[in-house]
Amino acid sequence: MQLANKIIIADDHPLFRTAMQQAVKQLVPDAEIPQAESLPDLQKLVEEHTDADLVLLDLQMPGAHGYSGLVFLRSHYPEIPVIVVSAAEDPAIMCQAIDHQASGYIPKSAPLEDIAVAIQKVLEGDIFLPEAARRHQHQPNQSALDLADRLASLTPQQFRVLTMMSEGMLNKQIAYDLDVSEATIKAHVTAIFRKLGVRTRTQAVIAVQSLDIEKPEQQISASQPAS
């Protein structure tokens, strides 16, 4: 195996980032390990490190809604494999991560040795899933995958704007944070509506929030009217 030299860890818990760093160093002692603690941080990090060999991604970070961070990475950086590392241990959630093109899934409860094995398998080009997920009889949720395809059509800046919208920020607040004009944000919002097939901010927010993993069986179509 050609050893990786740059592995990104994206998790909002410092202690777990440290544990993941130990697992990576156990396998690749000389690896460079950039770290992010939110989805906006991760977006900036992958822009700076497009040569990364792997991303270890927590699903529940600030700015992320379940699989939204995974959808962003796979649509804009398809050459970088992603392993989801999550506290969620439902086999259905693990399989859904693979549906959204993750290269592996590691429960946070796994021992460091198992995490290192999973990383090695993915770096060798394999898909890694825990035994419980491999035994699970899974039917992909087509409506969720269709939504992911629409989200994948957003540019990185449009994805940032949608993420900020989902946090309740107004156009002028988003414009200030991104250091652009409010007219630019309005243009992005219009493009987001068109690409997602929605007519209102509420519908757009419902669409991205439907990627949350708390209730994976309740995927909401972006085309439904907002209540």
Residue spans of the chain under pLDDT 70: 1-4, 214-227
**Residue 6 carries which DSSP code?**
B
pLDDT (tens digit per residue) in 182-197: 999 999 999 999 999 9
pLDDT (tens digit per residue) in 130-144: 888 888 777 777 787
- What residues does 128 pair with on adjacent strands? 104
Residues belonging to the chain: 227
* Backbone φ, ψ for residue 85 (5° rounding): -120, 110
Amino acid code (one letter) for 138? H
Q: What does the pLDDT read at residue 133?
A: 82
Domain boundaries, the chain: 7-135, 142-209
Q: What does the pLDDT read at residue 85?
A: 92
Fold of 7-135: Rossmann fold (3.40.50)
* Backbone φ, ψ for residue 146 (5° rounding): -65, -40
**Residue 219 carries which DSSP code?**
P
Intrachain domains 7-135 and 142-209 with the same fold: no
What's domain 142-209's architecture?
A: Orthogonal Bundle (1.10)
Buried b (16+ CB within 10 A) or exposed e, 171-210: beebbeeeeeeeebbeebbebbeebbebeebebbbbbbeb
Tokens matching residue 130: 């825990």
Q: What does the pLDDT read at residue 146?
A: 87
Q: Is the pTM of this model over 0.85?
A: no
Q: What does the pLDDT read at residue 161?
A: 94
